[in-house]
Amino acid sequence: MFHRPLSALVLSTLPFASLADVTGTYYVQGRNADGSAYDGRLTLMQQGDTVAADWLVGGTAYSGYGPLEGRVLTINWAPGQAPVVYVTMPDGTLHGTWADGLALEKATPE
């Protein structure tokens, strides 16, 4: 007799996760890899599973883009730099890390 593995049965009954809608303006607070604090603004524009990001932090503008895969948003923002990786939270905030995990950022919808 054939038995389906329990994990396959459980996974087949779960609803497919829909893409989060991250479009909007966010207030960001973070810590650089050296431990110094910063704050600023982040604007996200989403088209399907691709997101464009524009930050304004300390008078300096940064931009990038990348995929939104489920709850994980990965933004490539500078050649040779590790991407910013955010997790979308149920309350709409984005919790992120960058600089290979040495820096942190929280983005709160405005």
* Residue 86 domain boundaries: 20-109
The type of residue at 14 is L
pTM over 0.85: no
Per the DSSP assignment, residues forming a β-bridge with 46 are 51
Q: DSSP H helical segments within the chain, as ranges?
A: 6-13
- Residues 54, 62: contact at Cβ < 8 Å? yes
For 1-39, the pLDDT digits (tens) are 444 444 443 333 344 444 578 999 999 999 999 999 999
Q: Determine, yes or no, domain membership for 71.
A: yes
Count structural domains, the chain. Answer: 1
- Residues 54, 72: contact at Cβ < 8 Å? no
Neighbours of 78 (CB within 10 A): 12
Q: Determine, yes or no, domain membership for 14.
A: no
For 32-58, the pLDDT digits (tens) are 999 999 999 999 999 888 999 999 999
CA 62 from chain centre, in angstroms, equals: 15
Q: Determine, yes or no, domain membership for 39.
A: yes
CATH of the domain at 50: 2.40.128.120
For 88-108, the pLDDT digits (tens) are 999 999 999 999 999 999 999
Q: Determine, yes or no, domain membership for 31.
A: yes
